[in-house]
Amino acid sequence: MSQTSTTSQIERIPFGATGHDSTRIIFGAAALGGMRQDKADDVLEMVVRAGINHFDVARSYGEAELRLAPFLSEHRSELFLATKTGQRNGSDARRELEESLSRMQVDQVDLIQLHNLTDQPGWERAMAADGALAALVRARDEGLVRFIGVTGHGTYAPEMHSKSLAEYDFASVLVPYNFSMRQNPQYRDDLEALLTTCAEKQVAVQTIKAIARRRWTDDDAGKRFSWYMPIRDPDAIARAVAYVLGRASLFLNTTSDATLLPAVFEAAMTRSPVPDDAAMAADAQALGVEPLFIRDETDDVRVA
């Protein structure tokens, strides 16, 4: 991999208005979901060596929260710890939060996120008086969580996050952000509007799918460690990471394919120049990069 300048650590910036300076690379602990404990321990050791101080997990990520528990027993105070609930009813969201705390053997998480809140019926249910948001606000008041965020996949995520921020002062949002997604004019416009709002309100912006290549097809061979096919070429990964981190306010959540973590960490430490659109378009053509989400066609995560 070509390098321009190497630093010893990944840059840290304020995570919105939370008061925490998070590494701009956030460890997506979904990578641990299907691992044995010994393998998970090895991955976590690598993450620590890279200096990552912000972990993101979810109750729905297989055994990931359980795999984190031994590590957190020794390192909890050193990390900003985030989890998620996909439930929209208040009682169900509270139950999932309590399960997450129990599974990770912690008394508090720094951030609980309403997971993939991108559909209108789900949004209305979550925002109701007995919905998930109200339950999580009560949990925050009780000290079980410190902050509340919202995440989303698909092309509706930026638009719906803007709607959510008009309803409540969420601490963070999470959206897909890569070159291929930004070629969709409607998505790009919705995303830019969201980023403007987040800058004004000091809301942290997390991104996903930086190194996504395309959805798997039935003809694709090899092991699948994430629901989409990732980019594997180290130079292309470096450009994809630089493309996201070139936007000074963004955080990049890592892929669930742990085999690619070293390349992502190296790219973040190297801080290569931000690639222009021509370089990204060349990678897209050479690798067959396609947007993972197409409005009203493939807006969900796994189903084509």
| pLDDT for the residue 221 | 80
- CATH code for position 42: 3.20.20.100
**Residue 163 parent element (H or E):** helix 157-167
Helices (H) and strands (E) in the chain, counts: 10, 12
**Rounded distance, CA 117 to CA 161, Å?**
8
Tell me which residue has tokens 């050193």. Answer: 78
Comparing CA positions, the residue from 118, 59, 65 lying closest to residue 94 is 59
Q: Is residue 2 part of a domain?
A: no
- Report the number of distinct structural domains present in the chain: 1
Residue 193 near residue 238 (C-beta atoms within 8 A): no
Comparing CA positions, the residue from 275, 266, 199, 304 lying closest to residue 46 is 266
DSSP classification of residue 182: G
Comparing CA positions, the residue from 173, 175, 177, 176 lying closest to residue 198 is 173
Instruction: Output the average pLDDT for the chain.
Output: 93
Per-residue HEC secondary structure of 189-222 comes to HHHHHHHHHHHHHCCEEEEECCCEEEECCCCCCC
- Would the pTM count as exceeding 0.85? yes
Instruction: Compute the radius of gyration of the chain from its Cα atoms.
Output: 18
Burial zone of 168 (CB within 10 Å; 0-12 exposed, 13-18 middle, 19+ buried): middle
Q: Is residue 300 part of a domain?
A: no
| pLDDT for the residue 301 | 67
Comparing CA positions, the residue from 155, 119, 111 lying closest to residue 22 is 111
Segments forming the whole domain that contains residue 164: 12-287
Contacts of 188 (CB under 8 A, 6+ apart): 182
Q: Calculate the CA 2 to chain-centre distance.
A: 27
Q: Is residue 250 part of a domain?
A: yes
Q: Is residue 302 part of a domain?
A: no
List pLDDT tens digits, range 239-269. Answer: 999 999 999 999 999 999 999 999 999 999 9
Residues of the chain with confidence (pLDDT) below 70: 1-8, 301-304
| pLDDT for the residue 136 | 98
Cα-based distances in Å from 80 to 21, 26, 72, 111:
9, 10, 11, 8
Q: Is residue 3 part of a domain?
A: no
Burial zone of 25 (CB within 10 Å; 0-12 exposed, 13-18 middle, 19+ buried): buried
List pLDDT tens digits, range 209-239. Answer: 999 999 888 888 878 878 888 999 999 999 9
